[in-house]
Amino acid sequence: MTLRTLALVLVTVWLTGTVIMTFVATQNFRTVDRVLDRPTPEAAPKLTALDHDSMRMLLRHLSSELNRLYFMTWNAVQLLLAVVVLALMVRAGSRLETVLALVMLAIVVALLGGTFRIIELGRTIDFVPRDPVPPEVVKFGKMHAAYGAMEVLKLVVGVVLAWRLGVSR
């Protein structure tokens, strides 16, 4: 297997992981409402231990904590993938592909830093009432949107890198 082929496999795994993480994170929160709106017969009695809004807040907190764990773990994996792909591109002597891998690494480093700040702020707003919307929730929303935009940018750069690696084989 050539360095470029190995890099293509790793970039493909990386892009697939990014898409899967997006799905998991969004579904964690949607599942809270699905469970509360249509509980199984076994869960229904337990879900009335608190009023609906309190139970929803508690379950959303659980979803948040799971997402925090998943994103910290995924960002560590991404950092490793980024370093390995960059090293492969440097060794392969591919100038444009090296730049693309370097851009992806820079995005991952920014995402990792953003994740720490999002987690910190997120924990402070998990149990804060949303009516009226507090400024911290607005700030969290902006940070989350910036994170999402960086993820999209990383995906686009990754697709270009994968295409370049696939075409040049």
- The domain ranges of the chain are 3-167
Kindly report the number of other CB atoms within 10 A of residue 27's CB atom. 12
Examine the pLDDT at 141 and tell me if it is beyond 90. yes
Does pTM surpass 0.85?
yes
List pLDDT tens digits, range 30-55: 999 999 999 999 998 888 888 988 99
Give the per-residue pLDDT at 169: 58
Q: Counting beta carbons within 10 angstroms of the beta carbon of residue 40, is it exposed (0 to 12), middle (13 to 18) or buried (19 or more)? A: exposed
pLDDT band at residue 168 under the 50/70/90 scheme: confident
Burial 130-164 (b: 16+ CB within 10 A, else e): eeeeeeebeebeebeeebeebbeebbebbebbbeb
Dihedral over Cα of 128, 129, 135, 138: its sign: positive
> Percent of the chain scored above 70 by pLDDT?
99
What is the pLDDT confidence band of residue 158, given thresholds at 50, 70 and 90? Answer: very high
What pLDDT is attached to residue 1?
Answer: 77
**How confident is residue 25, by pLDDT bands cut at 50, 70 and 90?**
very high
Nearest to 83 by CA among 12, 26, 11, 152: 11
Contact indicator for 70, 21 with CB cutoff of 8 Å? yes
Residues 94-100 have a mean pLDDT of: 94
Which amino acid belongs to residue 117?
R
Contact 47, 35 (CB under 8 A): yes
